[in-house]
């Protein structure tokens, strides 16, 4: 599905240059469930932003289904991002003035779906994350776990092939985190590719493949579990 070749990301801060990612080459196959782990500042979020086409690499090539994405115009990259990728972040990034259902409807509006269809699909998605009874709540009226489930429902709005989750359980107590994991793992069983950053060793080990990042480099890829992980 995705192939990265010698991807690097540098930030030029005038006096100093920060190498957030260096020489990252790997493949992500359709249907994989991957965890990304590593110390704070090691480049995990940078990696997720680049894979998600939210940020451009300073060097290297990014292929999606053998098409080199980095060569495509921004508009085309944005279209791919909206149609094929779903994002879940540590802080839920919900619009505080919109209700749960309106937040979920938002990406469908950008994609040009009619209002009736948007509302119907959003209601189905909220049911999928067990929040039908919170559809008209504002984010401030919901718990952290509920807000994260709204964010998941929203990320599923356009049926993504790939979900990029950056510490999706980071702000949640462990029982709430387990609910989020169960939703993500259920999606993976339905064939959605999942890449998830986590600080939690137990959660990280649930993934079939664990990528360990250190100082902006891939220090280890797979091989964490008994019998070895699929690479
Ligand atoms: N916009 C930026 N400008 C300059 N440096 C940046 C920028 N964004 C990130 N960095 C640096 O790049 C490195 C990698 O950051 P990144 O956010 O990818 O780390 P991370 O592994 O996600 O950390 P955490 O676990 O704390 O979220 C860090 O040293 C960070 O300071
Ligand atoms: Mg991060």
Q: Which residues surround ligand 1 with Cβ inside 6 Å?
A: 11, 13, 18, 20, 38, 40-46
The reply to whether 140 falls in a domain is: yes
pLDDT mean over 186-202: 93
> E-strand spans in 53-192?
59-64, 67-68, 85-88, 162-166
- Tell me the CATH number at 93: 3.40.50.300
Backbone angles phi, psi at 138, to 5 degrees: -80, 155
The reply to whether 20 falls in a domain is: no
Tell me which DSSP letter residue 69 carries: G
The reply to whether 141 falls in a domain is: yes
d(CA 183, CA 156) in angstroms, rounded, equals: 11
Tens digit of each residue's pLDDT (9 = 90 or more) over 139-192: 999 988 899 899 999 998 888 999 999 998 887 777 778 888 888 999 999 999
The reply to whether 1 falls in a domain is: no
> Which atom belonging to ligand 1 lies closest to the Cα atom of 216?
14
The reply to whether 230 falls in a domain is: no
The reply to whether 10 falls in a domain is: no
d(CA 25, CA 47) in angstroms, rounded, equals: 11
Range of the domain at 42: 30-56+73-221
The reply to whether 207 falls in a domain is: yes
26: three-class secondary structure by DSSP: strand
The reply to whether 13 falls in a domain is: no
Number of domains in the chain: 1
Tens digit of each residue's pLDDT (9 = 90 or more) over 26-62: 999 999 999 999 999 999 999 999 999 999 999 999 9
Helices and strands (DSSP H and E) totals, the chain = 7, 10
Nearest protein CA to atom 2 of ligand 1, as residue: 11
């Amino acid at each position: 599905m995705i192939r990265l070749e010698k991807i690097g990301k540098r930030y030029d801060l005038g006096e100093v240059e920060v190498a957030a990612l260096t020489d990252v080459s790997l493949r992500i196959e359709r249907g994989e469930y991957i965890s990304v782990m590593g110390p704070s500042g090691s480049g995990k979020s940078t990696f997720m932003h680049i894979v998600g086409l939210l940020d451009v690499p300073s060097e290297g090539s990014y292929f999606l289904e053998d098409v080199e994405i980095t060569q495509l115009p921004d508009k085309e990259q944005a279209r791919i991002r909206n149609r094929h990728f779903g994002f879940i972040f540590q802080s839920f990034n919900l619009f505080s003035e919109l209700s749960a259902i309106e937040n979920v409807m938002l990406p469908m509006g950008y994609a040009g779906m009619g209002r009736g269809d948007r509302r119907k699909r959003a209601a189905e998605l909220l049911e999928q994350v067990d929040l039908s009874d919170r559809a008209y709540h504002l984010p401030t009226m919901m718990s952290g776990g509920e807000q994260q489930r709204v964010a998941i429902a929203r990320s599923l709005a356009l049926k993504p092939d790939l979900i990029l989750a950056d510490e999706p359980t980071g702000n949640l107590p462990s029982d709430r985190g387990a609910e989020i994991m169960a939703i993500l793992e259920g999606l993976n069983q339905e064939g959605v590719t999942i890449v998830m950053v986590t600080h939690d060793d137990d959660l990280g080990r649930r993934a079939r493949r664990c990528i360990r990042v250190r100082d902006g480099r891939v220090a280890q890829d797979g091989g964490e579990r008994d019998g070895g992980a699929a690479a």
